[in-house]
Structure 1
Amino acid sequence: MGWIYVIIGGILEIGWATGLSLSQGFTKPLPSIITAFLILVSFYFFSNSMKRLPIGTAYAVFTGIGAAGTALIGMLFLNEGISLLKVAFISLLIFGVIGLKMSDKEEKDTGGAH
Structure 2
Amino acid sequence: MAWTILFLAGLFEIGWAIGLKYTDGFTKPLPTVLTAASMIISVVLLGIAMRSLPLGTSYAIWTGIGTVGTVILGIFLFAEPATAIRLGCIGLIVVGIAGLKLTA
Compute the TM-score of the two structures, normalised by the length of structure 2.
0.96
CA distance in 2, matches of 1:52, 1:4: 12
Q: Provide the residue aligned with 1:32 in structure 2.
A: 32
Q: Provide the residue aligned with 1:83 in structure 2.
A: 83
Deviation at 1:82, TM superposition (A): 1.2
Check if 1:102 corresponds to 2:84: no
Output the amino acid matched with 2:78.
L
Cα deviation code 1:38-66 (max 9, x no counterpart): 11111111000110101000000000000
Deviation at 1:24, TM superposition (A): 1.2
Output the amino acid matched with 1:30.
L
Deviation at 1:21, TM superposition (A): 1.1
Structure 2: which 5+ runs fail to align? none
Q: Work out the number of aligned pairs and report it.
A: 104
Output the amino acid matched with 1:66.
G
Cα deviation code 1:12-56 (max 9, x no counterpart): 100000001111111111110110111111111100011010100
The answer to which of 76-85 and 51-60 deviates more is 76-85
Check if 1:19 corresponds to 2:16: no
For the residue of structure 1 that corresponds to 2:10, the secondary structure is helix
CA distance in 2, matches of 1:90, 1:21: 21
- State percent identity of aligned pairs: 39
Compute the TM-score of the two structures, normalised by the length of structure 1.
0.88
For the residue of structure 1 that corresponds to 2:27, the secondary structure is coil
Output the amino acid matched with 1:94.
V
Please say which structure displays the higher CA radius of gyration: 1
- Structure 1 outlier segments of 4+, above 3 Å: none
For the residue of structure 1 that corresponds to 2:40, the secondary structure is helix
Output the amino acid matched with 1:37.
A
Output the amino acid matched with 2:44.
Y
Q: Provide the residue aligned with 2:49 in structure 1.
A: 49
